[in-house]
Chain A
Amino acid sequence: MKKINTTLPIFPLPVFLLPGGVTKLRIFEPRYLKMVSTALSGEGFVVWLQDKYISANEKSTNMPWGSWVEIINFDQGDDGILEIDVKCKSLVAINSITQDEKNLHFGDVSCIPHWSEVHVDKVYGELSTSLASVFAENESLDNLYPQKGLNDSHWVLARWIEILPIELNEKNAFVVSYSFKEAKAFVESVILE
Chain B
Amino acid sequence: MQTNLLSRPTSAKSTNMSDKINHPQLCQWLESVAISRDKQAFTNLFQFFAPKILRIARGKFPNEAQANEVVQDTMSNVWRKAHLYNQDKGAATTWVYTVMRNVTFDMLRKIQGNKEDNLSDDIWPIAESMSIETEIFDDHLEHANLLSVIEELPQAQQDVVKGFYFREMSQEQLAVHLNLPLGTVKSRLRLALGKLKVQLGEQHD
Q: Do A and B bind each other?
A: yes
Query: Which residues of A are at the interface with B, using a C-beta cutoff of 8 A?
Result: 11-16, 23-26, 28-32, 37, 50, 52-53, 60, 76-77, 79-80, 82-83, 103, 130, 133-134, 137, 140-141, 162-166, 170, 173, 177-178, 182, 185-186, 189-191, 193
B143 at the interface (CB under 8 A from A): yes
Chain A neighbourhood of B93, CB < 8 A: none
Q: B142 to chain A: which residues have CB within 8 Å?
A: 12, 52
> What DSSP secondary structure best describes chain B's contact surface?
helix
Tell whether, in the assembled complex, residue A14 and residue B143 are in contact, meaning their CB atoms are under 8 Å apart.
yes
Using A15-B166, A164-B169, A190-B188 as known contacts, list a sample of 17 further A-B pairs with CB atoms less than 8 Å apart, ordered by residue number in A.
A14-B166, A15-B167, A25-B164, A26-B161, A28-B133, A32-B141, A79-B130, A80-B84, A103-B138, A130-B178, A134-B169, A165-B173, A173-B200, A182-B196, A186-B192, A189-B191, A190-B192
List the A side residues contacting B196 at CB < 8 Å.
Answer: 173, 178, 182, 185-186
* Chain B interface size, under 10 / 10 to 19 / 20 to 34 / 35 or more: 35 or more
**15 A-B pairs (CB sep. < 8 Å):** A12-B141, A14-B143, A24-B167, A26-B164, A28-B140, A52-B142, A83-B164, A130-B178, A134-B177, A164-B169, A164-B174, A165-B169, A173-B196, A189-B192, A193-B188
In the bound complex, what is the Cα–Cα distance between A28 and B127 (angstroms)?
15
